[in-house]
Structure 1
Amino acid sequence: MRDILFGHPAGLLGRLGGRIMARQNQPLYTWTLSLLPVQTSDHVLEVGFGSGEAIHLLTKQTQAALIAGVDASPAMLSMAKKRNAAALLSGRVQLEQGSAEQLPFADDTFHKAFAINSVQLWSDRKAAIRELYRVLRPDGMLALTLQPHNAKTDQDFKAIGEQLLFDLTQIGFFNTELQIKEHTPTNILCALGRK
């Protein structure tokens, strides 16, 4: 049941899970967007947009030229389209169904990209990071935010962050850094890198 609610949301339970995630992930959305200096002409991508709350915040807080998103769940796509209906009509927001491992965008499309609490759901994390690298423009910035509830100790938490940084540098990102935000019940981490 947890998978239908949060992992791979579907149907009525998936929509309920989307509402719960939107509320619980609010601090993650706000913090992650504060780490990405979005400019007026930027094209921004979110992978795993869920109910579309972070995209909605971006439309309100920035003047980004294009805000795109991809999510594997049809239920989340439907919720995100409703939440961002006006921005979709204006052409400022573009939402697609798809996977992180095969992004439906051309090379060098985005200035900024981010994923919030979806990294742990990717079937092939390195393939997804390669795809993010591909669709980012030179000097583009990536933020991967995660609240690892499975980290039982501080050492586990640190190891998860270090593995993300290692994966970023192995794919080709530079200026990588790990940001940590204290939060309950579990701290939040964000791995940042530039193409």
Structure 2
Amino acid sequence: MNLKTRFYNIIDSQYGRPTGLLGRFIGEKMIRQHQPETLWTIENLNLQENERVLEIGCGAGFALKQISSMNGGHHVTGLDLSKSLLHSAAMRNRKALKQKRIELVLGSVEELPLSEEQFSAVYSIHSVYFWENLSRSFEEIHRVMTPGGRVMITLCDGKDGEEWASVKQMIHRELIPMMERLKFSEVRVLGGPVSRGYQTVAVAGVK
């Protein structure tokens, strides 16, 4: 393996669980790259007053900052596997953390270290690709949601007009059937913005 290939392999591995200074750099890069679909996701959550919101895979905390800055009195919990990114999220949201409008949690979606039925809105942006056990992940999401709560899982299913068959298959043969088995209602796929040539979609539902 040559040096260039090794470098790109290191970069690719950082997207799943960023670590150290390189991980923090990747976290800031992801904020810039994913801003259109992040803002679109937040808008489509249709947050009302005083909601308790969970972001799975919060990264460096850009979306957390957007929601906590709204005039809705929301409380936002950000969960991530990466200590490095949680540190960046804490730095970005120092004031909101001090005011207890944001909470940061180290953990995995497969075993959420959170109590039952506390979130009225749950979302995740570009992290579902890295979930090792989709069925267990959605069971955990369902567990921590309040009745009537909304979930939105944002991802990309194509680039430059070309559809990604494997992602389409995951959406229609895995994600949607899992949500329906768990009795989520109004399960649907939303079309989102094109960002850097990537087509954004989201799988959404109501508990």
TM-score range, shorter chain: over 0.9
**Residue of structure 2 equivalent to 1:79:** 88
Q: How many residues align?
A: 195
Distance verdict in 2 for CA 1:46–1:155, change over 3 Å: closer
**Residue of structure 2 equivalent to 1:7:** 16
SS of aligned partner of 2:120:
strand
User: Which residue among 180, 185, 206 is the counterpart of 1:194?
Assistant: 206
Moved more, 122-131 or 61-70: 61-70
> Post-superposition shift, 1:159?
2.8
CA distance, structure 1, for counterparts of residue 76 and residue 33 of structure 2: 22
SS of aligned partner of 2:48:
coil
SS of aligned partner of 2:198:
coil
Moved more, 132-141 or 178-187: 178-187
**Residue of structure 1 equivalent to 2:137:** 128
> Post-superposition shift, 1:155?
6.3
Normalising by structure 1, report the TM-score: 0.93
CA distance, structure 2, for counterparts of residue 42 and residue 73 of structure 1: 25
> Equivalences for 1:106-125 in 2 at 5 Å?
106-125=115-134
Query: Would you say 1:68 and 2:67 are equivalent positions?
Result: no
Question: For structure 2, which runs of at least 5 residues remain unmatched after alignment?
Answer: 1-9
**Residue of structure 1 equivalent to 2:187:** 176
CA contact (8 A) 1:161 1:189 kept: no
Moved more, 133-142 or 161-170: 161-170
CA contact (8 A) 2:107 2:113 kept: yes
> Post-superposition shift, 1:152?
9.2
User: Which residue among 52, 62, 65 is the counterpart of 1:43?
Assistant: 52
The one-character-per-residue Cα deviations of 1:84-132 (angstroms, maximum 9, x if unpaired) are 1100000110011000111111110000000000001111111111101
Identity among equivalent pairs (%): 30
User: Which residue among 165, 168, 176 is the counterpart of 1:158?
Assistant: 168
SS of aligned partner of 2:197:
coil
Normalising by structure 2, report the TM-score: 0.88
Larger radius of gyration: 2
CA distance, structure 1, for counterparts of residue 23 and residue 158 of structure 2: 20
The one-character-per-residue Cα deviations of 1:28-76 (angstroms, maximum 9, x if unpaired) are 1111011111112210000000001110111123424311111000001
State the 4+ residue runs in structure 1 displaced beyond 6 angstroms. none
